[in-house]
Chain A
Amino acid sequence: DAKTTQPPSMDCAEGRAANLPCNHSTISGNEYVYWYRQIHSQGPQYIIHGLKNNETNEMASLIITEDRKSSTLILPHATLRDTAVYYCIVRVGDLRNTDKLIFGTGTRLQVFP
């Protein structure tokens, strides 16, 4: 699995967009980009995933560069409840969920009032 690089921490004002970057320069053509987050003392929570097209759901948007070497998770209107550690993960597969998730140390996002 490709490795990812994320900034260790970021701050964001409540109500503003939070843009969390991730570098995955060694990603393979069949690897997807996944984002999970972990709120303090809870298990990780799936946010979104994508292969090469931009994706949006009720939680966030995922922007993947054309060369697929980096991506950005966007929380359009951050709230205090979005304070968490955000993990960017790349992994093979979409329909088969057999592959393990390889977590890095993630980005600790602090949303302030």
Chain B
Amino acid sequence: DAGVTQSPTHLIKTRGQQVTLRCSPKSGHDTVSWYQQALGQGPQFIFQYYEEEERQRGNFPDRFSGHQFPNYSSELNVNALLLGDSALYLCASSLERGQVRQYFGPGTRLTVT
């Protein structure tokens, strides 16, 4: 049973560019959450998707957007990249009902130069 997978593993972008990160949830999970983790900090919640809709959102600007597909996989898009967007981006999956834990992927390390 594959766990949560994310791609790519690492990514280097230039300021002002756009980036798309991808996440495949654990088999059977229907909810995907995205987190941003700056160096030395705990993960910060970006948003959560369920039934292809954004259900909750953290304190992140509209430059951060997402999508969930019918197969429950998800994308995180960041426009107009800033140096401060450099971070580890984590995807977590869970069942909307019946589970108490979130399963995290290994993350995508984004570096903005």
List residues of chain A with CB under 8 Å of any chain B CB.
Answer: 32, 34, 41-46, 49, 85, 87, 93-106
Decide if A102 touches B45 in the complex (CB within 8 Å): yes
CB-nearest residue of chain A to B6: A43
With known contacts A43-B90, A100-B56, A95–B106 Cβ distance under 8 A:
no
The docked-state distance in angstroms from the alpha carbon of A67 to that of B44 is 28
- B12 interface hit (Cβ, 8 Å): no
CB-nearest residue of chain A to B33: A100
Interface size class of B (residues with CB under 8 A): 20 to 34
List residues of chain B with CB under 8 Å of any chain A CB.
Answer: 4, 31, 33, 35, 40-45, 48, 50, 55-56, 58, 90, 92, 94-107
Chain A residues closer than 8 Å to B104, beta-carbon distance: 43-45
The docked-state distance in angstroms from the alpha carbon of A104 to that of B43 is 8
Kindly count the residue-residue contacts between A and B in the assembled complex, taking CB atoms under 8 Å apart: 70
Decide if B102 touches A97 in the complex (CB within 8 Å): yes
Decide if A49 touches B100 in the complex (CB within 8 Å): yes
Chain A min CB distance to B74 (Å):
15
Show 28 residue pairs from A and B whose CB-CB distance is below 8 angstroms, ordered by the A residue: A34-B100, A42-B107, A43-B4, A44-B43, A44-B104, A45-B104, A46-B101, A46-B102, A46-B103, A87-B42, A95-B98, A96-B96, A97-B94, A97-B95, A97-B96, A97-B99, A98-B48, A98-B50, A98-B56, A100-B45, A100-B58, A101-B45, A101-B92, A103-B35, A103-B43, A103-B44, A104-B42, A105-B40
The docked-state distance in angstroms from the alpha carbon of A105 to that of B40 is 8
Chain B residues closer than 8 Å to A45, beta-carbon distance: 104
Instruction: Please indicate which of the listed interface residues A42, A43, A45, A46 has the most CB atoms of chain B within 10 Å of its own CB.
Output: A43
